[in-house]
Amino acid sequence: KYSTQILSKVTTMLELRLFFALIFPEEILIKIASTISELRTLIPQGSIRWVKPGNIHLTLKFLGNVSQSKVTELTRAMSITARHIIGCNADLQGLGAYPSISHPRIIWLGIKPDEQMLQLFTNLENQLLPLGFPGEKRGFSPHITLARISENISDIERTAIGKVLNKIDIPLIARPSFDQFHLIKSDLDRNGPTYTKLFSLTFGR
């Protein structure tokens, strides 16, 4: 689960692993968790690590390791980014995989953003460029990571998982609305990532 933490109590580490994200309402997380449960009955389990429902989010921009000294600049960029955004919506629909369905390593749920979300992404990219964060070469391709497939499985096993994925059709399962976006710190350990909100901003304020 996400934990909330004010800026004055940010860890004293020199670098923080950061990203910007939208957080789903609890009722949407329940629907996504239900979808994961259904998928687990269809896909061989031994080689797949499913994302915990409490860690599911919509990444707007992954920053990687960032100097702690940049956090204030990033929160300022958030304020400018959201200045004329009144909220945003998305359709959750479709299943896919990276790098491809035929050779999957990450399984994802598709997201169709509305115009406000697209504008939010564009504004954020424009504010981050002067801070030294390059723009996304592939543009905005939002998705929800549902599972990661082990690097250690054989090509035969990976292809078999891909064939199962290719037969699964996920219709529209939800149309969530977002009234905030967040700067989030990610801490990695053997049990997976732990996410902490460093700063949250409400749209239209």
In this prediction the pTM is 0.85
Ramachandran sector of residue 117 (left: φ over 0; alpha: ψ -120 to 50; beta: rest)? alpha
Q: What is the pLDDT of residue 153?
A: 87
pLDDT tens string 7-19: 544 444 589 999 9
Which residues in the chain come in under a pLDDT of 50? 6, 8-12
CA angle 52, 183, 119 (to 5 degrees): 105
Q: What is the pLDDT of residue 8?
A: 43
Q: What is the pLDDT of residue 10?
A: 45
| Residue 84 falls in the annotated catalytic set | no
Per the residue annotation, which of 84, 103, 143, 182 is the catalytic one?
143
CB 155 within 8 A of CB 80: no
Q: What is the pLDDT of residue 23?
A: 95
Per the residue annotation, which of 57, 84, 103, 182 is the catalytic one?
57
Q: What is the pLDDT of residue 47?
A: 80
Q: What is the pLDDT of residue 54?
A: 86
The Cα–Cα gap between 43 and 41 comes to 6
User: Which whole-number Å values give the CA distances from 41 to 3, 37, 38, in the listed order?
Assistant: 31, 7, 5
Q: What is the pLDDT of residue 3?
A: 52
The structure tokens listed for 71 are: 């956090």
| Residue 143 falls in the annotated catalytic set | yes
CB 192 within 8 A of CB 52: yes
